């Protein structure tokens, strides 16, 4: 039990499908993240929400659309994906003391959602 729960754990979708990944954190944090983990590559930060406001979008294609309805929930909406988008998608959360400030607070990860695009 990590305190960060991701569903589904495994997802197979076609390139024309629309699906969503869900993340919920039970740690009382106020920042949430989506990371992408592909083989042989460093973890890539996709999106960051702090105090429910999106503060980072690292040039992610528009076929990925995040949603953060409150500080405990984070979604990643997927549509018209490509096979190269197949990867492990990791949700994470942390406390953030100041918006835009650096903090020593630890980021805690969920178990990940394995996505395969066919």
Partner 1 sequence: AQSVAQPEDQVNVAEGNPLTVKCTYSVSGNPYLFWYVQYPNRGLQFLLKYITGDNLVKGSYGFEAEFNKSQTSFHLKKPSALVSDSALYFCAVRDIGGANNLFFGTGTRLTVIP
Of the candidate residues 11, 21, 31, 115, the single one contacting partner 1 (CB under 8 A): 31
- Would you state the torsion angle of the CA atoms of residues 42, 62, 49, 113, taken in this order, to the nearest 10 degrees? -60
**CA-derived radius of gyration, the chain:** 14
Query: Residues 112, 108, 4, CA angle at the centre, nearest 5°?
Result: 55
45 is an interface residue for partner 1 by CB under 8 A: yes
Q: How far is CA 82 from the centre of its chain?
A: 18
> How many residues belong to the site for partner 1 (CB under 8 A)?
34
Query: Smallest gap, in angstroms, from Cβ of residue 94 to partner 1?
Result: 6
11 is an interface residue for partner 1 by CB under 8 A: no
Which residues in this chain contact partner 1 in the complex, by CB under 8 A? Answer: 2, 4, 6, 31, 33, 40-43, 45, 48-50, 55-56, 90, 92, 94, 96, 99-112, 114
């Amino acid at each position: 039990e990590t305190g960060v729960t991701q569903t589904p754990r495994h997802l197979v979708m076609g390139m024309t499908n629309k699906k969503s990944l869900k993340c919920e954190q039970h740690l009382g944090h106020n920042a949430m993240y989506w990371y992408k983990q592909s083989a042989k590559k460093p973890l890539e930060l996709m999106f960051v929400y702090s105090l429910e406001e999106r503060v980072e979008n690292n040039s992610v294609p528009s076929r990925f659309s995040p949603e953060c309805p409150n500080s405990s929930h984070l979604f990643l909406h997927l549509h018209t994906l490509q096979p190269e988008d197949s990867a492990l998608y990791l949700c994470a959360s942390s406390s953030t003391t100041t918006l835009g400030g650096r903090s020593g607070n630890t980021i805690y990860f969920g178990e990940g959602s394995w996505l395969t695009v066919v």
